[in-house]
Amino acid sequence: MGARILVAEDDAKHAGLIRIYLEQDGHAVHVVGDGRAALDRARTARPDLVVLDVMLPGIDGLDICRILRTESDVPILLVTARTTEEDILLGLDLGADDYLTKPCSPRELAARVRALLRRAGKATDGEPAVLRVGGMEVDTVRFEVRLSGRTVTLTSKEFGILETLAREPGRVFTRAQIIERAFGFDHDVLERTVDAHVMNLRRKLEQDPAHPQHLETVYGRGYRITDGGTARP
C-alpha cells in the first residue's frame, strides 16, 4: 500500500478528481472540505502528506500550514488560486514544501506528491528505496547513484530521468512520459531537453557514450534502461 494522504479541498468535484489520481498511485486518501476538519484530521491521523487548498472555509490553508509546521514535519503541498510572487513566497515561508497554482491538473498534482514523498524518504511498500539495474544502484532516498561501486554525481533532472527509467528496466518511455514523471509536469520543458539530459547521463555512465550499453535509444519511441555490458570504470 502507498502513503496516507490528507486532501483539504472545499471544491467537491476537484477533490474527487484528486482522490482518483492519488488512489491510482496506491495511496490511501482522506478528503475534508474545511479548515477545522483539516487541522483536526492532520493532528489525529498523522498523514504522510497533506494537500492543502489555501482558500478553505473556517481556517484558511496558510494558517493551517503555519500551525502544522510548528507541530510536525509532514510534507505540505499548497494548492492556491493566489498567483502573485508574494503569496507564493508567503506559503513557502510558512513551511509549505511545494505549491501549485489553480487551475491545476490532477495528474500534475499526483506527480508533485510522488516527488515530495520521495524527498521525504517515504518509499511505499513494494517500492524499494534502492533500484538496481545490473551494476548500477539508484538510491531514491539519498539521491545517489553508484555504478560498480563508484558514486556518480548527477543533477536533479538527470537523477529524475534515471530514476524513471530504472523503476521499470526494459520498458520504453516516450519523451512525453519522461517529462511527466521526471520533471513534475514542468510545462517549460521541451522534448529535446530530455535528449540533452540523456546525452549528459551517457557521458557520466557509459564507457562509450556513442555506443551506450545502459541508456538505449529506441528510435521513433524513446528511451529505456538495460543491465547491458561492462560499466564505465
DSSP assignment letter at 218:
E
Rounded to whole angstroms, how far apart are CA atoms 105 and 123?
24
- Which residue type occupies 123? A
- pLDDT of 171 reads 92
Render pLDDT for 23-39 as a digit per residue (tens, 0 to 9).
888 889 999 989 899 99
Mean pLDDT of the chain: 83
C-alpha cell recorded at residue 206: 557509459
Render pLDDT for 153-183 as a digit per residue (tens, 0 to 9).
988 788 889 988 998 899 999 998 888 777 6
- pLDDT of 83 reads 64
- pLDDT of 205 reads 93
Rounded to whole angstroms, how far apart are CA atoms 72 and 108?
25
- pLDDT of 185 reads 45
DSSP run (H or E) holding 172 = none
- Select the more confidently predicted residue: 122 or 206: 206
- Distance, CA of 147 to chain centre: 24
Q: What's the predicted TM-score (pTM) here?
A: 0.54
- Residues with Cβ < 8 Å from 151, sequence gap 6 or more? 144, 145
Rounded to whole angstroms, how far apart are CA atoms 168 and 224?
9
The percent of residues in the chain predicted with pLDDT above 90, rounded, is: 28
- Select the more confidently predicted residue: 187 or 8: 8
- pLDDT of 50 reads 93
Render pLDDT for 112-145 as a digit per residue (tens, 0 to 9).
888 888 777 655 545 566 888 988 999 876 778 9
Render pLDDT for 38-59 as a digit per residue (tens, 0 to 9).
999 998 888 999 999 888 888 8
Characterize the bridge pairing of strands 28-32 and 4-8. Answer: parallel
- pLDDT of 229 reads 45
The percent of residues in the chain predicted with pLDDT above 70, rounded, is: 87
End-to-end CA distance of the chain: 38
